[in-house]
Amino acid sequence: MANEQPDVTPWEAEAFVDYNRLIEIFGAKPLTEREARLLEEVVGEQHFMIRRRVFYSHRDLDAFLEAYRRGERTALYTGRGPSGHTHLGHILPWVFTKWLQEKLGIDLFFQITDDEKFWHEEGYRLEDTNRMAYENILDIIAVGFKPEKTHIVIDSEDIRYLYPIAARVAKKITFSVQRAAFGFTDSTNVGMIFYPTLQIAMAFLPSEIYGEPTWVLIPAGIDQDPYWRIARDIAPSLGYPKPAQIHGKLLPGLGPEGKMSSSKPETALYTTDPPEVAKKKIMRAFTGGQPTAELQRKLGGNPDRCPIFKLYELMFEPDDKKLEERYWACKTGKLLCGECKRELAERVAKFLEEHQKRREKAKDMVDKFLIRNKFDPPPVESRVKKR
Ligand code: TRP
């Protein structure tokens, strides 16, 4: 058992979030050396986000990879609830998903849930979340997904791709199961109550598009797990393989705690922030440093509680050796926060400049990504015969 544990690096010892606790709560499995090695065998290289367990937990990742290796049909699926502008916390899992798409050479089905966010968020009109869907799509394209292999479904516009599947899914889910999984109450609007059916149906769309049972891997936050638990329960009875998951960590915000979140704009780095603005936000960020430079030199900083260090670790320093050097330079008081922030600010600004150029170009490419321009909606009669 011991050799199955990930190498515990010092900065992993004390994270902001107790990810082991999350794995327990959701009943998922930790991603061990075994899955990491299997993935490396299958795609021929390892991503630092796997090595560092930025993606740290899974369900059936091994079964998915074995099916891929046997030459069976596979696809990727992820999604975005367009409740606001894209920030770097959203980009993080997409960067990894793009890598998977490239290395596995398979299609990605991308759901944009403008209906969900309309139902969920007070004060949004459907046209607001729909407009945001198109804004977010520019960021998805800018990350570099392949147009010929990336198929976007916008719920409010592409429902015919999902509805026959959703109708079958809905019949398998009782209200009591739904309520227990999502904590719905008597005052939840019925849009929210129906919505899970659509997110689950999307996991089965690849099977209907290809006309054969398709193994689907879903990179997502662990908070989406309740959908997949239900999806996995009902999949066999509808003739679909159970969808597999791989769960990613959340990027922290630039404040003392909490994930990067649109509800705290001063601590979030948006893809549309002018690089100069992003730099200022970083220079003003909370750190694990001491109150004065003198104390920092004497006592050292605390990278384990520092959002700046986490940004390096999760996204902006792929080189393990350099990351480790930074960690110890901070801990021993050699590296002061100002310098550490300045270097990060430069990297983030460069990333944003390039992303924003690609985002501009993306405006002419949207049509190439929309599923409606590429596949006919699947027929009402399921193409996947129950086995
Ligand atoms: N419910 C997700 C959100 O609020 C959006 C979503 C739909 C999704 N399908 C998904 C996320 C698949 C991850 C994987 O953001």
CA dist 164 → 190, 311, 344, 376, 377 (Å)? 19, 42, 48, 13, 10
pLDDT of residue 385: 73
Distance from C-alpha of 105 to C-alpha of 234, rounded to nearest angstrom:
28
17 pLDDT higher than 80 = no
Task: Tell me which residue has its CA closest to atom 7 in ligand 1.
Answer: 79
| 111 Cβ inside 6 Å of ligand 1 | yes
Task: Tell me which residue has its CA closest to atom 9 in ligand 1.
Answer: 79
8 pLDDT higher than 70 = no
In the block, which residue shows the tokens 């939840």?
188
| 116 Cβ inside 6 Å of ligand 1 | yes
Q: What average pLDDT does range 136-161 have in this prediction?
A: 98
In the block, which residue shows the tokens 């003198």?
294
| 241 Cβ inside 6 Å of ligand 1 | no
Distance from C-alpha of 301 to C-alpha of 290, rounded to nearest angstrom:
6
CA of 109 to the centre of ligand 1 (A): 11
Nearest atom of ligand 1 to the alpha carbon of 120: 4
Kind and range of the H or E run holding 50: helix 48-51
CA of 377 to the centre of ligand 1 (A): 21
CA of 341 to the centre of ligand 1 (A): 32
CA of 7 to the centre of ligand 1 (A): 30
Q: Domains of the chain by range and CATH?
A: 19-253 (3.40.50.620), 265-362 (1.10.240.10)
Amino acid (one-letter) located at 68: Y
| 81 Cβ inside 6 Å of ligand 1 | yes
Q: ∠ at Cα 110 (105, 116), nearest 5°?
A: 165
Spell out the SS3 assignment of 96-164: HHHHHHHHHCCCEEEEECHHHHHHHCCCCCHHHHHHHHHHHHHHHHHHCCCHHHEEEEECCCCHHHHHH
Strands 108-112 and 55-59: unpaired
Mean pLDDT of the chain: 94
Amino acid (one-letter) located at 118: F
| 262 Cβ inside 6 Å of ligand 1 | no
Task: Tell me which residue has its CA closest to atom 14 in ligand 1.
Answer: 78
pLDDT of residue 6: 36
pLDDT of residue 141: 98
Task: Tell me which residue has its CA closest to atom 3 in ligand 1.
Answer: 81
Provide the sign of the torsion angle of the four alpha carbons 344, 346, 349, 351, taken in this order.
negative
CA of 78 to the centre of ligand 1 (A): 6
Per-position b or e across 280-294, b if 16+ CB within 10 A of its CB: ebbeebbbbbbeeee
Residue 175 pLDDT grade (very low, low, confident, very high; cuts 50, 70, 90) = very high
Q: What average pLDDT does range 121-145 have in this prediction?
A: 97
| 207 Cβ inside 6 Å of ligand 1 | no
Tell me: the pLDDT tens digits for 241-272? 999 999 999 999 999 888 898 888 899 999 99
With 0-12 / 13-18 / 19 or more C-beta atoms within 10 angstroms meaning exposed / middle / buried, residue 150 is buried
Distance from C-alpha of 143 to C-alpha of 298, rounded to nearest angstrom:
42
Residue 357 pLDDT grade (very low, low, confident, very high; cuts 50, 70, 90) = very high
